[in-house]
Amino acid sequence: ALVLLIASALLIRSFDRLRHVDPGYETQDLFTFQFAPEEEYLKDAPSFARFHLEFKERLAALPGVERVGVVENVPLDESVSSERFQSEATAGDDDSGTLLSFTWTAGDYFRAMGIEVLGGRIFTDDDHLTHPGNVLVSRSAANLLWPGQDPVGKRLRMRNRETWETVVGVVDDVLQDSFRQAAEPMVYFPLVGQDPANSRPISSPGYVLKTRRADEIAPEVRALVRQVAPTAPMYRVYTMERLAARSMTDLSFTSLTLGVASGLALILGLVGLYGVLSYAVAERTREIGLRMALGAAASRVRGMVVGQGAKVLMAGILAGTAAAFLATRALGSLLFEVGTFDLSTYLIVTGLLVLVGLAASYLPARRASKVDPMEALRSE
């Protein structure tokens, strides 16, 4: 019981800390989806970009939609690509570059997601039309490339490209893959609808809708998708709250399973302790009666039985603590910001188990203190 209780307590503490992680964006009132249009006129990267830039405006006209953003990889749903980037100050033959993640965005993505702009500005319509070479970087990316400096106005490039990009804004870090993983240093490119040289062939980006109708807007969005691309499948339909919950599914399920198991084990343990002490009292009825006949106080008899229960408890706690220390190592991959030997968790769980165990010992002890000495001796 102690092993299961400690394991479930560690998982519950991990789950609670995971729930309070700041991912760098909001999760409430956000609806996300993707679809892949296959219209004949979508023949190159700019045509796909123009299609999605225009479609986001139609989405913005839906009732209750406050903002619409487009992103190549929706956080908590898809991973992003990574590449080595060089800053203008350090670029050279011997500079291998800094590994950064990158993605493409359009529309009001940063405001829709609630991602804080820390400096400079976000993308404008001009950035999306002709791409004058502007990018945004996350806070951690800026710290890696230009530590202690203002990155706005600085230039960077992918190591394998000759084109330099100018940083026009800095945004806060976001958790991309999971609440468990640290934020990736990120570079954001604008989705470009005119310049073929700087347009990426993104056929099915993710859409993010800021709306209080996130749980019910899917049918209207699906109808709009059918209007512009009748044969296009609409998929990866989620709310951000669901994606956030999915990110913690493994921990919550394991916590629930171990919690139920530990509860059953605790009940069985207490019933067993109660049964052992009740049997001991029954077997020692004559001894208890004799003690009381010789003047032993009822409180002393109760203390004797509770003390016997305490010895059983201590033996179980010592063995259980050692077993828990070994068993919880298997939970290392599930725990979040909690060590496998978290002293406070061990002390709290052990203390509660002692209190409950002593309470279970009290009933047999109370029965023993009410033994009638004459009846006990006469029955023998």
User: pLDDT digit string (tens) for 259-276?
Assistant: 676 677 667 766 766 666
Helices 285-293 & 249-283 angle (0-180, nearest 10): 60
Dig out the tokens for 225 from the structure.
Answer: 């998708």
**Strand 134-138 relative to strand 117-120, pairing:** unpaired
Burial class from Cβ neighbours inside 10 Å (0-12, 13-18, 19+) for residue 249 reads exposed
Q: CA–CA distance from 166 to each of 89, 155, 169 (Å)?
A: 13, 4, 9
The whole-angstrom separation of Cα 115 and Cα 138 is 10
* pLDDT band, residue 113 (cuts 50/70/90): very high
| Exposed / middle / buried, residue 307 (Cβ in 10 Å: 0-12, 13-18, 19+) | exposed
CA distance 259 to 5: 7
Residue 368, burial from CB neighbour count under 10 angstroms (0-12, 13-18, 19+) = buried
Q: Are strands 186-190 and 98-107 parallel, antiparallel or unpaired?
A: parallel
Q: In this predicted structure, what is the pLDDT of residue 197? A: 59
Structure confidence at residue 127 (pLDDT): 84
CB atoms within 10 A of CB 138: 24
Predicted confidence band of residue 302 (pLDDT cuts 50, 70, 90):
low
Four-point Cα dihedral 319, 325, 326, 329, nearest 10: 160
* pLDDT (mean) for 57-80: 92
For residue 64, give Cα distances in angstroms to 132, 134, 227, 239: 33, 32, 20, 15
Which tokens sit at 109?
Answer: 């993505």
Mean pLDDT computed over 4-14: 78
- C-alpha neighbours within 13 Å on the C-beta side of residue 294: 8
Q: Is the pLDDT of residue 345 over 90?
A: no
Predicted pLDDT at 219:
95
Is 169 strand, coil or helix?
A: strand
- pLDDT band at residue 200 using 50, 70 and 90 as cut-offs: low
pTM of structure: 0.74
pLDDT of residue 17: 78
